[in-house]
Amino acid sequence: MGKRNRRGGRERPGPAGFLVVDKPRGQTSHDVVDAARRWLGIRRVGHLGTLDPQATGVLPLVVRGATKLAPFFGSGNKTYVGTVHLGAVTDTLDGEGEVVKRHEGALPDEAAVREALKGFVGEIEQIPPMYSAVKRDGVALYKLARQGEEVEREPKKVIVDSLELTRFDSPDAEIAVKCGSGTYVRSLAHDLGSALGCGGYLASLRRLWSEPFGIEVAHSFEACEEAARAGKMDDLLISPEKGLDLPVIRLATQGVRRVENGGDISPGTLERSKPGTRVSALNEEGRMIAVLEIRADRRLWPVRVLPA
């Protein structure tokens, strides 16, 4: 018998894991979460990093007990391909907003764009867009923006590992971006336009990688709908230990009981591993039960225990 969900019904039992969805354009990340709840017949679903409604691509979801693993994915790297439209600025910094400024002169050539991109590689500062989920005094900035308000935002440091021009067909410049968590590609597009003196906004965006999940393991909305109709949604899940990609150990029944009750266990062959080393612990049936960490006392302690 499944657990009761918040609406009083019974949740459909099944394995914990990750569902990687190829998010379609026009859907919010929360729209996808709601759809996954419907597909799986459960409430315990969350996502590992917001994608703007206009963006498509990799959106990893955590399902059932794997929701407890979300904190382990907060700082993963991302890879995108996007199109910057030069010569105009919008209030949302992307193609969904209203144009607030147009450039009347000649647009920069390909060489100028390539040169300008070099200035956005490495550790840079970004000012979060007004149309973002960043909160000010407990209120999301996008809610203030919809009310016509604009407030001062503190710049934050982000890491851009690489930023390349992959195609140039003026006024559109296609870019490939590898960056750290928290980077706004919309802001990169806007700041690139400012650096070039002509303005620019992000016309399209596709996420190809959200560490550790790539587009090759993502399922389309249509594939998920079809699997749901066939009662095979659980077949699309990536197991928790594969998603975490930590070393794996298997525990006997006694060790499982100690871990599930918050107790420590012997490190076994991991005795010589340095403190801070983490592993995924599986029971004898192969179900992941916890993330364990070697502490200074050379014992394995549970960092996160998954519900049975």
| Residue matched to tokens 């105009």 | 88
Measure the CA–CA gap between 193 and 81, rounded to whole angstroms.
17
Measure the CA–CA gap between 224 and 229, rounded to whole angstroms.
9
Question: Dihedrals φ, ψ of 56, to 5°?
Answer: -125, 175
What residues are labeled active site?
A: 52
